[in-house]
C-alpha cells in the first residue's frame, strides 16, 4: 500500500512539536549543567527582523523563524521511523 506524503508531513510535525515541548520542559525542570546545555539549547534560523514593505496604502510584513533543538530533531526522526513502520 502506498503512503501519502501528507502523512509523512503530519508525522514530522507531530514529532517535532513533541520534541520541542519536551525540550522546553527539560529547559525549565533540569538543573543547570550538561544535560540542559545539550538538549535544551535552541537554534533559530529565519528572517530577523521581518522584511517590511511600506507602500503607503498597504504595509506588508514577511518573515518566519524556526526554533530547532536536538530533541525536536530526534522527534522528527522518530516520526520518520514510525511513518516507515506503521
Using 50, 70 and 90 to split pLDDT, how confident is the model at 1? low
Domain segments of the chain: what residues?
5-85
DSSP string, 9-77: HHHHHHHHHHHHHHHHHHHHHSPSSHHHHHHH-EE--B-SSPEEEE-SS-EEEE--B--EEHHHHHHHH
User: What are 24's three cell numbers?
Assistant: 522546553
State the residue for C-alpha cell 513533541: 18
Task: Report how far residue 10's alpha carbon sits from residue 12's, in angstroms, rounded to the nearest whole number.
Answer: 5
Q: What is the DSSP letter of 86?
A: -
Residue 76 pLDDT exceeds 90: yes
Residue 44 pLDDT exceeds 80: yes
- How confident is the model at residue 39, as a pLDDT? 79
Q: Taking the model in full, what pTM does it have?
A: 0.78
Amino acid at each position: 500500500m502506498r503512503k501519502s506524503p501528507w502523512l509523512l508531513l503530519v508525522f514530522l510535525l507531530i514529532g517535532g512539536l513533541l520534541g520541542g515541548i519536551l525540550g522546553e520542559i527539560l529547559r525549565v525542570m533540569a538543573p543547570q549543567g550538561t544535560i540542559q546545555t545539550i538538549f535544551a539549547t535552541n537554534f533559530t534560523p529565519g528572517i530577523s527582523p521581518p522584511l517590511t514593505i511600506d507602500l503607503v496604502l498597504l504595509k506588508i510584513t514577511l518573515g518566519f523563524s524556526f526554533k530547532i533543538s536536538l530533541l525536536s530533531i530526534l522527534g522528527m526522526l522518530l516520526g520518520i521511523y514510525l511513518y516507515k513502520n506503521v
